[in-house]
Amino acid sequence: MMTIALSISRLPFTMRSLKVIGLVFCLADISALNPFLLAQLSIIKVAICQPNAVLHLLQRCPSLSSLTIRVHANRPKKQPIWPSFTHTRSLCIVCAHKLCI
């Protein structure tokens, strides 16, 4: 996964949309992505395996207008995933585990 994250980081900074199918990102993978590239993205569609990876992604992507994530995480049912945020206009969350809410 880290190799793919590094490959994504080599994409041109003019790119505005990132859609990754068939791979699941963790916090380390998101941290490996180029911050200049992430700052330019306005649309992201990815799968994550750690709920805190979403916060990290949101912090690194101030230009987001649309975020679609698939959550692959085992966690207690009542544990919150993240606090509220305001810089995206569209958010879609698809839970891949029956405990997701």
Residue 96 counted as domain residue: no
Residue 98 counted as domain residue: no
Residue 63 counted as domain residue: yes
Measured distance CA(40)–CA(23) in Å, rounded: 22
Tens-of-pLDDT digits for all 101 residues of the chain? Answer: 667 777 887 888 888 998 988 888 888 888 888 889 889 999 988 888 887 888 888 888 888 888 888 877 655 454 454 444 455 566 666 665 544 44
Measured distance CA(90)–CA(76) in Å, rounded: 26
Range of the domain at 69: 2-10+17-90
Number of domains in the chain: 1
Residue 100 counted as domain residue: no
- Evaluate whether 17 touches 43 at the Cβ level (below 8 Å): yes
User: What distances in angstroms separate CA 85 from CA 9, 11, 21, 73, one per listed residue?
Assistant: 25, 27, 25, 20
Residue 85 counted as domain residue: yes
Tell me the whole-structure pTM to 2 decimals.
0.71
| Partners of 95 in the β-ladder | 71
